[in-house]
Amino acid sequence: DAGVIQSPRHEVTEMGQEVTLRCKPISGHDYLFWYRQTMMRGLELLIYFNNNVPIDDSGMPEDRFSAKMPNASFSTLKIQPSEPRDSAVYFCASSLGGLREAFFGQGTRLTVV
Protein backbone atom coordinates (compact mmCIF):
# COMPACT_ATOMS: atom_id res chain seq x y z
CA ASP A 1 0.00 0.00 0.00
CA ALA A 2 1.21 3.53 -0.77
CA GLY A 3 0.25 4.78 2.65
CA VAL A 4 -1.99 7.74 3.39
CA ILE A 5 -2.01 10.12 0.45
CA GLN A 6 -2.76 13.80 0.81
CA SER A 7 -3.14 16.47 -1.82
CA PRO A 8 -2.07 19.07 -2.50
CA ARG A 9 1.27 19.07 -0.68
CA HIS A 10 1.36 22.86 -0.64
CA GLU A 11 -1.43 25.38 -1.01
CA VAL A 12 -1.14 29.15 -1.08
CA THR A 13 -4.37 31.07 -1.20
CA GLU A 14 -5.70 34.52 -0.54
CA MET A 15 -7.76 35.37 2.47
CA GLY A 16 -11.44 34.77 1.85
CA GLN A 17 -10.93 32.00 -0.69
CA GLU A 18 -12.23 28.47 -0.29
CA VAL A 19 -9.63 25.77 0.30
CA THR A 20 -10.16 22.04 -0.04
CA LEU A 21 -7.68 19.51 1.26
CA ARG A 22 -7.89 15.88 0.22
CA CYS A 23 -6.98 12.57 1.79
CA LYS A 24 -6.93 8.96 0.69
CA PRO A 25 -6.54 6.62 3.68
CA ILE A 26 -4.83 3.25 3.67
CA SER A 27 -7.11 0.70 2.07
CA GLY A 28 -9.07 -1.26 4.66
CA HIS A 29 -8.59 1.23 7.48
CA ASP A 30 -11.85 2.17 9.17
CA TYR A 31 -10.75 5.26 11.06
CA LEU A 32 -9.67 8.53 9.52
CA PHE A 33 -8.36 11.52 11.45
CA TRP A 34 -7.62 15.12 10.49
CA TYR A 35 -4.96 16.94 12.53
CA ARG A 36 -3.53 20.43 12.31
CA GLN A 37 0.04 21.33 13.26
CA THR A 38 1.21 24.83 14.20
CA MET A 39 4.32 26.05 15.93
CA MET A 40 2.33 27.46 18.80
CA ARG A 41 -0.09 24.63 19.48
CA GLY A 42 1.63 21.57 18.04
CA LEU A 43 -0.57 18.81 16.63
CA GLU A 44 -4.26 18.97 17.40
CA LEU A 45 -7.11 16.72 16.37
CA LEU A 46 -9.77 18.44 14.28
CA ILE A 47 -12.19 15.62 13.49
CA TYR A 48 -12.29 11.89 13.03
CA PHE A 49 -14.46 9.43 11.15
CA ASN A 50 -15.34 5.79 11.71
CA ASN A 51 -16.62 3.89 8.69
CA ASN A 52 -17.15 7.21 6.87
CA VAL A 53 -19.27 8.66 9.68
CA PRO A 54 -18.03 11.74 11.59
CA ILE A 55 -17.68 10.77 15.24
CA ASP A 56 -16.06 13.71 16.99
CA ASP A 57 -15.72 17.16 15.44
CA SER A 58 -15.16 19.02 18.70
CA GLY A 59 -11.70 20.05 17.53
CA MET A 60 -12.97 21.91 14.47
CA PRO A 61 -12.14 25.51 15.34
CA GLU A 62 -15.00 27.30 13.64
CA ASP A 63 -17.97 26.83 11.34
CA ARG A 64 -15.70 27.86 8.51
CA PHE A 65 -14.21 24.36 8.72
CA SER A 66 -16.06 21.33 7.42
CA ALA A 67 -15.06 17.76 6.63
CA LYS A 68 -16.65 14.98 4.66
CA MET A 69 -15.96 11.36 3.92
CA PRO A 70 -18.19 10.30 1.03
CA ASN A 71 -16.65 6.84 0.82
CA ALA A 72 -14.04 4.66 2.48
CA SER A 73 -11.24 5.85 0.24
CA PHE A 74 -11.65 9.60 0.25
CA SER A 75 -12.06 12.50 2.64
CA THR A 76 -11.97 16.27 2.31
CA LEU A 77 -11.37 19.11 4.72
CA LYS A 78 -12.75 22.41 3.53
CA ILE A 79 -12.15 25.91 4.85
CA GLN A 80 -14.49 28.61 3.63
CA PRO A 81 -13.65 31.44 3.88
CA SER A 82 -9.98 31.02 4.69
CA GLU A 83 -8.11 33.38 7.01
CA PRO A 84 -4.38 33.96 7.62
CA ARG A 85 -4.61 32.28 11.03
CA ASP A 86 -5.59 29.05 9.28
CA SER A 87 -2.05 28.80 7.95
CA ALA A 88 -0.67 25.50 9.24
CA VAL A 89 0.21 21.99 8.16
CA TYR A 90 -2.83 19.74 7.95
CA PHE A 91 -2.36 16.02 8.38
CA CYS A 92 -4.61 13.13 7.62
CA ALA A 93 -4.11 9.81 9.39
CA SER A 94 -5.81 6.44 9.27
CA SER A 95 -5.89 3.33 11.41
CA LEU A 96 -7.47 -0.09 11.52
CA GLY A 97 -9.43 0.32 14.71
CA GLY A 98 -9.52 3.56 16.65
CA LEU A 99 -6.98 2.47 19.25
CA ARG A 100 -4.40 0.95 16.99
CA GLU A 101 -1.33 2.34 15.31
CA ALA A 102 -2.08 5.48 13.33
CA PHE A 103 -0.39 6.15 9.99
CA PHE A 104 0.00 9.70 8.80
CA GLY A 105 0.13 11.27 5.37
CA GLN A 106 2.79 13.74 4.26
CA GLY A 107 0.60 16.68 5.14
CA THR A 108 -0.64 19.76 3.29
CA ARG A 109 1.14 23.00 4.08
CA LEU A 110 -1.48 25.75 3.83
CA THR A 111 -0.52 29.39 3.61
CA VAL A 112 -3.27 31.99 3.60
CA VAL A 113 -2.07 35.45 2.61
Q: Which residues bind other proteins (CB under 8 A)?
A: 4, 6, 31, 33, 35, 42-45, 48, 50, 55-56, 59, 91, 93, 98-107, 109
CA atoms of 67 and 90, how far apart (whole Å): 12
> For the chain, where are the E strands, in sequence order?
5-7, 10-13, 19-24, 31-38, 42-50, 53-56, 65-71, 74-79, 88-95, 103-104, 108-112
Shortest reach from residue 98's CB to other proteins, in Å:
3
Q: How far is the CB of 3 from other proteins (least distance, A)?
A: 9
Write down the least CB distance from residue 43 to other proteins, Å.
4
Closer residue to other proteins in complex, CB, 73/106: 106
